[in-house]
Chains A and B, each alone.
Chain A
Amino acid sequence: MTLPLIIYRSLRQHALSTVITAGSIALACGLLMCVWMVKTQSQSAFTQTTTGFDAVLGARGSKLQLVLNAIFHLEASAGNLAYADYEAVRRHPAVKTAVPLAVGDNLRGYRLVGTLPELFSNVEYAPGKKYALQPGGKIFGADAKEAVAGSFAAQRLGLKVGDKFRPFHGLAFDAKAEHADDYVLTGILDATNTPVDRVIWIPLRGLQTMSGHDPKAATDVSAVLIQLKTPAAGFMLDMMYNKQGNRLTFAYPVGAIIADLFSKISWFDQVLALVAYLVALVAAGSVLASIYNSMSARRRDLAILRALGARRRTIFGAVVAEAACIGALGALLGFAVYFALLTGVAGVIRAQTGVVLNVTAWLPVLWITPLAMVALCALGGIVPALKAYRTPVAETLAPVS
């Protein structure tokens, strides 16, 4: 019990600096874990978010832009493709399902996407998972002025079944750009934890023929979501559209295109990780400084312990263990920081992209970081421990007379 008692009393005696130092470690630890978790989970979530489709066909342009626009409902459309192109790919023997999308309007900042009702009845957005409506709802009719809202959009916009609304032109909300068409919300989708949740879905024809839209583009679509019969078909269509053709872009496979995006912005991860590592180093340095600065005040106590028979190595060990304890306390508090940060970041990512991060997921980083932090703090404790180790007993205890 000697060592725990010495450590406990020392921490109590320097409670303020203990709390401040542990707080800085908690911030470092929480930040490190959060950066790592967001990086890992977002990469995994984004690359796995395909909403059930293998590929996207769109106007000639960037594959990434096409995927971001059609799957994640981010970015502007690169352009339209003719309805005949949709029909052609739909009839292609290698294609299992083809669902057209049309974009260009919003409801108070949330995208309106035109599509076919079959999207919600025939497609699994994840293996074994089909779209479901909240009680009392139904899918819009193909030619009706009806809409179905994603769960997140409905919640944020305060929509309920039966509500009427008028869409606004463009992808960004502009109160002056209101269309004259009235839509009725016929259903709200159950949460899918995909970008679909952030969208208000209307019939394809509704978006194509919205008042104010160019009548010449009334049959065009913005993109076509494609399910393939076999993976090999993807390479065949890639050859056909991307290499042999020059009008359209075939983005395949969806996951690989997003992974490519992450590899392109990996420098950002590295910068974040570097910042987090530096914060961790500064935190360990604060442990060193905190204990080292208190050494003058502790010299007498350490000399008394030595006079009572404590060996130098016991004193050395006590100081290192104290530093490790501050690290452990900080690491524990770090989990609170981590959950708070991750919850906030996950909320922002969900609001911006519809992709949901699992804040309770467990990754090795959640035990490696706290352990590394404790080790780093123990390492930081070595310098003050050496000072304690060298405390001259007789000189320190000499009575002042």
Chain B
Amino acid sequence: MLAVTDLKKSFVSPEGGRVQIVNVPAFALAANEQLALRGESGSGKTTFLNLIAGILAADSGRVVVDGVEMTALSEARRDRLRAEKLGYIFQTFNLLQGYTVLENVVLGMSFGPRGADRAQAREVLGRVGLGHRLDHFPWQLSTGQQQRVAVARALANRPKLVLADEPTGNLDRKHAGEALGLIREVCREHGAALLLVSHDEEVLRQFEQRKDFADMNEAMKGVSS
């Protein structure tokens, strides 16, 4: 589902030098697999996800999503691929505050191949327990509910891969557990692979350890400042 090879990304520091943020020699994620990566704040984990999502262009290396080399595509085609195959749950949810819950999800779908499907959006929102909040605005919801809207938006388009960036970072322990369970369950139901990054050991412990997981984690650690 996801294959990353020699992926590198650096930024210019305020002092003028280049700081390498991501340096991942090899990483792969199978279809339906669920994996959590450990990364402290500033470790480059968000940048790594953004590179996979095609939001950022890599300095070098390859990212292949569902057989398509993202890094070889033009920006417009990366946008299309992201809309078609990826769901992204942001740490700060990134909901559109001026849009209703339903519109947030519908808009997320509208750039994908299926287009805006209000019935599907309602169904997914019902699945995450927000069927009664369709016409509410994000600011009218609790943090946990906003998180669920973000989950519904990421999954409404039936993506092949869901990227989750500190999805429980803004939630208390109880709600974090519930949210994580929901994300994993819904991804499983939709047949989507899940790549989650977090610095929360409690979250990381809930995922299976993989043979190359430690290496990947080291790679992330290796570039953290």
Could you say which of B41, B84, B88, B96 contacts A401, with CB atoms under 8 Å apart? B41
A358 within 8 A of B: no
A5 to B153, CA, bound (A): 16
Q: Which residue of B lies closest to A1 (CB)?
A: B116
B108 A308 Cβ-Cβ under 8 A = yes
Q: Is the interface of A mostly helix, strand, loop or mixed?
A: helix
Please indicate the chain A residues that have their CB under 8 angstroms from the CB of B103 in the complex. 5, 9
A13 to B111, CA, bound (A): 22
A307 B53 Cβ-Cβ under 8 A = yes
What does the 1/0 interface line of A36-76 toward B look like (CB < 8 Å)? Answer: 00000000000000000000000000000000000000000
B56 A394 Cβ-Cβ under 8 A = yes
B55 A307 Cβ-Cβ under 8 A = yes
A311 B56 Cβ-Cβ under 8 A = no
Please indicate the chain B residues that have their CB under 8 angstroms from the CB of A122 in the complex. none
A309 B112 Cβ-Cβ under 8 A = yes
Please indicate the chain A residues that have their CB under 8 angstroms from the CB of B96 in the complex. 9, 301, 304-305
A95 within 8 A of B: no
Q: State which size class the interface on B falls in.
A: 35 or more
A60 to B90, CA, bound (A): 90
Stretch in B72-80, B126-134, B209-217 with 4+ CB within 8 Å of A: B72-80
B94 within 8 A of A: yes
Could you say which of A12, A13, A308, A397 contacts B83, with CB atoms under 8 Å apart? A308
A10 B41 Cβ-Cβ under 8 A = no
A132 within 8 A of B: no
A29 to B55, CA, bound (A): 42
Distance between A112 CB and nearest chain B CB, rounded to angstroms: 68
Q: Which residue of B lies closest to A310 (CB)?
A: B111
A394 B111 Cβ-Cβ under 8 A = no
Contacts A2-B116, A10-B98, A310-B79 aside, 20 further interface pairs with beta carbons under 8 A come to A1-B110, A5-B103, A9-B99, A9-B103, A305-B111, A306-B55, A306-B79, A307-B90, A307-B94, A308-B82, A308-B107, A308-B108, A308-B111, A311-B111, A312-B75, A312-B76, A394-B47, A399-B46, A399-B166, A401-B41
Could you jot down 30 A-B contacts, CB within 8 Å?
A2-B111, A2-B116, A6-B107, A300-B94, A301-B97, A301-B98, A304-B94, A304-B95, A305-B107, A306-B79, A307-B53, A307-B82, A307-B90, A307-B94, A308-B107, A309-B80, A309-B83, A309-B108, A309-B111, A309-B112, A310-B83, A311-B79, A311-B80, A312-B75, A393-B56, A394-B55, A394-B56, A397-B55, A399-B165, A400-B92
